[in-house]
Structure 1
Amino acid sequence: MVESVRVPILASWERCQTAGLDPERFEVPYTDDLDPTGALVRAAGPVLDRLAGTLSGTRTAVLLTDDRGLVIDRRAAEPPLLPALDRVRLAPGFSYHELHAGTNGIGTALAARQPVRVCGEEHFSAALRGFTCFGVPVRHPVSGRVEGVLDLTSLYGDAHPLMAELARGCALAIEQRLLDECGERERALLHSYLAAEHRATTAASLRLDGAGRFQGVGPPAGLTDGDESALAETAAGLIAAGRREALQLPLSHGRTAHLLCRPLAGGAVVEVSVPGDAGSPGGGTGGSARRPLLVGEAGVGRLAVAARRRLELLSDAALRIGTTLDVSRTAREIVEAAVPRFADHATVDLFCPVLHGTAPVDPGAELRRVAASGAAPGAAYGPHARGEPIRLVPGSPQARALCGGAAVRDTSTGPDGEPRAVIAVPLRARDTLLGVATFQRAAPTEPFADDDLTLARDLAARAAVCIDNARLFTREHHLALELQRSLLPRGVPEQHAVDVAHRYLPAARGRVGGDWFDVIPLSGARVALVVGDVVGHGIHAAAAMGRLRTAAHNFSALDLPPDELLGRLDDLVVRLDDESGTGPGLAGATCLYAVYDPVTRRCQLARAGHPPPALLAPDGEVRFPDLPAGPPLGLGGLPFEAAEFAVPEGSGIVLYTDGLIEGRHLDPDTGMRRLGRALTAVPRGCPPEEVCAALEAALRPAPSADDVVLLVARTRTLDERQVAGWDVPDDPAAVSALRSAITRRLRAWGLDELTFTTELIASELITNAIRHGAGPVRATLLRDRALVFEVADASGTSPRLRRAATTDEGGRGIFLVAQLCRRWGTRYTDRGKVIWTEQQLPA
């Protein structure tokens, strides 16, 4: 049942339960302390008369209450309704405040400060469940204060759907009459002032001009809009003070306005003179006659000043709140904007999931105090420090605000035993409840007024959107970071060509970029070292990085030369950008691809717009090889060039992304010189892990606007005793001799278990090379992490695995090879091709 109850009604029930009301017991207090001649009664009288006439013939009662919920007027269109109203004491003098009568159209409208309809069973008290009522708060149009409630009540079965619109319209009419009454008092003040000045005037002559001012009252002619605004603001402040005071106000063009505030009975008037102003009556050229600038009541003036200050606070808050996309920082900006201009103390408590970027799904989730600020240092406003979990007391303003989904104004007792005015506002954005903001005032600060409650709502609404924006950014960042981590290598694969250490250093403020690296074992004991960088940050950059890394990994399986591999990557990026249409593409990504061969001790590299690698020689010399830059990936139609050079054993190959050598105040050339100096300072023979740590300490900018990938590889070589090679004559009879040589080598290595399978593989591959390839033919046997057998020839034709038919005499050789080895493949060289196989070494 509770799930189907409207939110305002459910919030009212919770307030009644917290107050300890009994639904079966109905008692409302009575008082004769009524003001039958008050401003609200005077303004509402004619409106109620017309409303009663409109409802003649219906069973609907018209009731007017004051701001305490006391009924001060009742009009019943039909006498049969009166006994039912009298039984529940719905008559003048009785209080229908929510704390006395429970959920009802009068008390709940006062508590919620908004129109409320309560039907039948929605009443908290059983005695009222036979009625339907609709209450509308009546606000003073100048102060914004709730003066009372206009309520239409009927028996449950007699309710009319037009009750709501009728009540709203009459409440607006009463508010307009209250405003007219303020104008009459202002007219009387001006009349009193002119009479005291012995100026001939009549009530008829005090007419309003087109700007809504009394004729003859206002700033002198010829002033700029800025001057008029400054005069009006200063005059309102003087009237708010309500005392005799004179001051000078600088104006534009070097002029000065002289203002004098003169108290009147019930108000004040501000006079102005501008020396040299010809627009003042009797001033003439160079005259300085005074004229009335503004007349008003001191209380109204104070309201105008307070309203201006509230607007200034909202304007400043719009500039101060949400300057970053950090949830905690945004929460601190809220309390900094509120204290001390709006409250003596402010706190922001958020649900824990919000801090991690997710939306809270459980309204009972743990709250955490994210921000707190007090005007007085050391003041005790609550037991919770920033960062601590919050456990709300049932019935507290914060708990009621979260449960009811509306701002709550109340009083509470602080830790020091002193009463405090409290406003608790739920922080809600995009239908997501994020937490609660609390504002407190203690004596001697004035308690919160109705306008303060509205201001707190506006402040919380703006803050909630900023917090939710920060939450969404945090969620995207976490998703991007998780995506990136899932796409980066989780470890270095087993290989014996290089010793590797790596670093991924994210950018400051948690920005996730598209930097990536890879270490890929290749055939023939070789290894590929890859570093790349995708332009941009966020999920798109992380996803693009994953696509490029996957593509590079797949292309490397083809054993392509570095320049050809980058060419294929470039073609892929162009195709993906074409497919993406108007969406974000991959163009602008950079990549460096290097292949190191521990047998020949040579390294072949190519780069696509990426910074060049650094080579650290065993003797400590550092150099940056002259490697053609190449265009970034995605431009299409441009070739890439590779370079090859010898690498002594124990050399360091340092690959990195531009975040290591570039920055806001650091150009790439200077950054590369810093990298060279940092590498020179590394002690000789340091393992790659220590080299990474040294470079990170020396070069990592703090904070960095870009992420950094660093890959350090220390080269190794295969001992001559681990490599065996034979030149094979172009004669099938040579296969037998080769098998014998392979058997002896395997026996020397202690790999007798692999003799049979290796002989079969060698026989098939050598025979194919002699029959279908072109000389010269060379066979190579490597003992590394696996047993590698390679056959090289000058032909560009590669064998393929196929299923032979039962009647076929051949076509089963490669199938047999594939079954005997763990992996096999073909790579092409500038002299032909190499067919290679790998067999698992025995344990």
Structure 2
Amino acid sequence: MARTARADSPAEGTRCPRPGVRHLAGCAAMVLDADGRVTQWSGGAMRLFGPPADKAMGHDICDLLLRGTRHDTVRRVLQDVTAGARWSDVLSAECADGRVHEIAFTWEPLACPGVWGAVLVTAVDTTPSQHDGADATARERLALLNVLSAHVGATLDPRQAAENFMDIAVPRFADTATLYVLEGLLRDEDRPYLAADGSARVRRLALKLGTRETDEQQWHAAFPVDEVVSYGPRHPAGRCMTTNAPVFSTATDFEIDDLDRVIGVLGEPALRYLEKSSFLTVPLAARGTVLGFIAFSRSPDRRRFDEHDQALGEDLAVRAAVSIDNARLYTRERRTAQALQDNLAPRTLTAPPGLEVAHRYLPASSMRAGGDWYDVIPLSDTRIALVIGDAMGHGAVAAGAMGQLRAAVRALADIDQPPDQVLRRLDRMAEDMDAIQCATCLYAIVDLATHTCALACAGHPPPILLRPDGGASVIDLPPGLALGLGDPTFARAFTTTEVAMPAGSTLAFYTDGLVESREQDIDRGIATLQRALASPRPTLESTCEAIITALPRQYDDVALLLTRTAY
């Protein structure tokens, strides 16, 4: 059976036209930075306001569209929106036809990793139109864009963002939608590229059909999510990504393999069904890079895609692309931070003979990485170094600083000098570590033979000693100055203090995130820690867990290190 399809529209199988008629461009979307400069300019924005993307990118939105007192209004709006507010109002703006139109602007924050302070702007032309149905179409588009904005940007997982987009686009905009991203995008390539001939290797990230559940299961079996496929430069996907423009197409433009899969689901009547269906392929582009594409289709019993749908499809794709790219960047940053934390901080601590150890690390952020750290370093058969520290900040930068400090402490511990000398040298080393702005540290040497503990502090919360009789007291140490401040006046401020540590004593090291929070000050937190430490527990691990439970919810990274000498 010959595989042919009928082209009922002159635009079928060709690149979508970019009309300049105002009634085809009544709605637009764009992204601004915190200063009001354009960072993303959709096709709808070009048709509504006139300037192409290369002329709009990087320009102030006021200089581009608005005049007079609107500058002050927009500046105030940007301040509020970047702080988390949402704002809508009608402003006069210069449009593509050379006239000033009344445009309904909606401004909302895009608070995602890598784009803090970015603002998503939706614009709808409210000027009465001479074309029947144009105002209704613009209102419909605005409603769909608002629904999309509320749902797609609510996740920081690329696949979930893609699926959320599908739930909005189908069946409101199309009967089926498939979202693909360039395979290199998910391999953490900064700028995934198309092949030199325009072909693309893409991954199917989401598929949605407005059909019965049994049919959808068959479609997912034929076109599984996460499958990697290649499309040539003549395929609608290749043309769409190469030109960064929407493409209308027919069934004759598709790959034989795709047609065979459709026939496998629908049977031989699929060809007649496809001949009468309408197809629209729209590029996914964010931050000047084409990330992939979305393939939409409408069944024969629904209105075919036209130029109105082209404009809406582009604006939908702008929001989907920014959301998916934000989620991808967040995932990559989180994965990097976790890798740093896993490789730079000890996953487990080996307790030397004569010493029992329990510990906890609770990151404040979902990236599970931060600047808190601790370590146990055997110096000899009877002497063990204990250290805990807190590098300012969270995420990958703090984790990197933490890793440098931990490595430096281990190197200094090999010299086996008193704690104050270790901190003094560590302070000088921290001055040359660019990632370290400020860090606290507590270093101690436990001598199991003499039952003593020598400690020195660099701006860190004081340790707590639980004696064998059950009494818990804060060890009074000269506080010292935090590491990395680079003030030679305080170079001798580190002082070693020696305390008795009888057999069966427990020493508690912790960071300020454990004892200081919005609910209580640090003094109350330390008192709560003392009580939790002094309550009898069968094991050191259970004591560790009881302490974490007793303290209020943490808003900062938390590290806790408990050590107990054997009886």
Q: TM > 0.5 between the two?
A: yes
Give the aligned partner of residue 513 of structure 1.
370
Shift of 1:694: 4.2
Question: Does 2:507 match 1:653?
Answer: yes
**1:380-779 correspondence to structure 2 within 5 Å:** 383-384=219-220, 389-391=225-227, 400-401=236-237, 405=241, 407-409=246-248, 421-429=278-286, 434-439=291-296, 446-492=303-349, 495-523=352-380, 525-576=382-433, 580=434, 585-635=435-485, 636=487, 637-638=489-490, 639-684=493-538, 686=539, 688-696=540-548, 699=551, 701=553, 705-716=555-566
Taking the aligned partners of 1:19 and 1:394, their CA distance within structure 2 comes to: 21
Is 1:141 matched with 2:43?
no
How many Å apart are 1:518 and its aligned residue?
1.4
**Closer, same or farther in 2 for the Cα pair 1:358/1:393, shift >3 Å?**
closer
Alpha-carbon distance in 2 for matches of 1:664, 1:366: 45
SS class of match (1:631): coil
Find the residue that maps to 1:672 and give its secondary structure.
helix
Moved more, 626-635 or 420-429: 420-429
Residues 493, 521 of structure 1: 8 Å contact kept: no
CA separation of 1:354 and 1:142: change in aligned 2, threshold 3 A: closer
Residue 112 of structure 1 is matched in structure 2 by 14
Q: 1:541 to 1:308 in 2, by over 3 A?
A: same
Return the letter of the residue paired with 1:647. M
Q: What is the distance in 1 between the residues matched to 2:214 and 2:521?
A: 51
The answer to which of 475-484 and 645-654 deviates more is 475-484
AA aligned opposite 1:389:
V
Whether the aligned pair in 2 keeps the contact of 1:505 and 1:708 (CA below 8 Å) is: yes
Instruction: Kindly report the root-mean-square deviation, in angstroms, between the aligned alpha carbons of the 2 structures.
Output: 4.5
Whether the 8 Å CA contact 2:13–2:250 is kept in 1: the answer is no
1:744-794: CA deviation from partner (whole Å, max 9, x where unpaired): xxxxxxxxxxxxxxxxxxxxxxxxxxxxxxxxxxxxxxxxxxxxxxxxxxx
> SS in structure 1 opposite 2:314?
helix
Letter of the structure 2 residue corresponding to residue 552 of structure 1: V
Residue in 1 that maps onto 2:108:
none
- Paired letter, 1:111: G
- Matched ranges for 1:275-286 at <5 A: none
Pair 548,443 (structure 1): closer, same or farther in 2 beyond 3 Å: same
Contact kept in structure 2, 1:529 and 1:594, CA below 8 Å: yes
For residues 559-596 of structure 1, what are the alpha-carbon distances to aligned partners after superposition, in whole Å with 9 as ceiling and x for unaligned? 232233223222332344xxx4xxxx523211111111
Where does the alignment leave 5 or more consecutive residues of structure 2 unmatched? 26-88, 93-126, 252-261
CA shift in 2, pair 1:394/1:655, >3 Å: closer
Judged with a 3 Å threshold, the aligned counterparts in structure 2 of structure 1 residues 395 and 607 are, in CA distance, closer, same or farther, namely closer
Q: What displacement does 1:633 show? A: 1.7
Give, in whole Å, the separation in 1 of the partners of 2:319 and 2:291.
Answer: 13
Please report how far the alpha carbon of residue 610 of structure 1 lies from its aligned counterpart in structure 2 after TM superposition: 1.9
Q: For 2:161, what is the secondary structure of its paired residue?
A: helix
1:168-201 Cα distance to aligned partner (Å, 9 max, x none):
xxxxxxxxxxxxxxxxxxxxxxxxxxxxxxxxxx
**1: CA distance, partners of 2:224 / 2:516:** 40
Range with greater deviation from structure 2 (420-429 or 349-358): 349-358
How many Å separate the matches in 1 of 2:212 and 2:550? Answer: 42
**1:534–1:541 contact (8 Å) kept in structure 2:** yes
Alignment match of 1:367 (pick from 191, 194, 204):
204
The one-letter code matched in structure 2 to 1:481 is: Q
Q: CA distance change for structure 1 residues 302 and 588 in 2, over 3 Å: closer, same or farther?
A: same
State how far apart, in whole Å, the 1-side matches of 2:231 and 2:395 are.
Answer: 43
1:621 positional shift: 3.4
The residue that corresponds to 2:135 in the other structure is: 304
Bigger radius of gyration among the two: 1
- In 2, are the aligned partners of 1:499 and 1:713 still within 8 Å (CA)? yes
1 or 2 for the larger relative contact order (CA 8 Å, sep ≥6)? 2
Q: CA offsets per residue over residues 504-557 of structure 1, 9 Å max, x none?
A: 333342252111111112247211111111111232212211211122222222
TM-score (norm 1): 0.44
Q: In the aligned structure 2, how far is the partner of 1:329 from the partner of 1:700? A: 32
Give distance in 1, aligned partners of 2:516 and 2:212.
Answer: 44
Hey, what does 1:163 align to over in structure 2? none
Mean CA deviation greater in 530-539 or 627-636 = 627-636
Pair 295,589 (structure 1): closer, same or farther in 2 beyond 3 Å: closer
Percent identity at matched positions? 40
Closer/same/farther in 2, CA of residues 599 and 355 from structure 1, 3 Å limit: same
Shift of 1:424: 3.9
Q: Is the alpha carbon distance of 1:404 and 1:439 closer, same or farther for their aligned partners in structure 2, counting shifts above 3 Å? A: closer
C-alpha change, 1:430 and 1:587, in structure 2 (3 Å) is: closer
- C-alpha displacement at 1:448, in angstroms? 2.9
| Cα distance between partner residues in 1 of 2:462 and 2:91 | 66
Q: Is the 8 A contact 1:506 1:708 kept in 2?
A: yes
Name the SS of the counterpart of 2:560 in structure 1: strand
Q: Compared with structure 1, are the counterparts of its residues 495 and 643 closer, same or farther at alpha carbon in structure 2 (3 Å cutoff)?
A: same
Residues of 2 paired with 1:606 and 1:138: CA distance?
71
Measure how far apart 1:646 and its partner are: 1.0
Distance 1:424 1:657 in 2: 53
* Distance in 2 separating the partners of 1:643 and 1:477: 40
Aligned to 1:268: none
Q: Assess if the C-alpha contact under 8 Å between 2:503 and 2:565 holds in 1.
A: yes
Unaligned runs of 5+ in 1: 1-17, 22-28, 30-65, 70-108, 115-136, 146-225, 230-293, 718-843
The one-character-per-residue Cα deviations of 1:213-257 (angstroms, maximum 9, x if unpaired) are xxxxxxxxxxxxx8999xxxxxxxxxxxxxxxxxxxxxxxxxxxx
**Partner residue of 1:74?**
none
Summarize the Cα distance change of 1:548–1:394 in structure 2 as closer, same or farther, 3 Å threshold. Answer: closer
Aligned residues: 436
Question: Secondary structure of 1:112's match?
Answer: coil
1:141 counterpart letter in structure 2: V
Alpha-carbon shift at residue 388 of structure 1 (Å): 6.3
Selected match of 2:161 from 318, 321, 330: 330
Which amino acid is 1:548 matched to? L
- Residue 632 of structure 1, CA deviation: 1.9
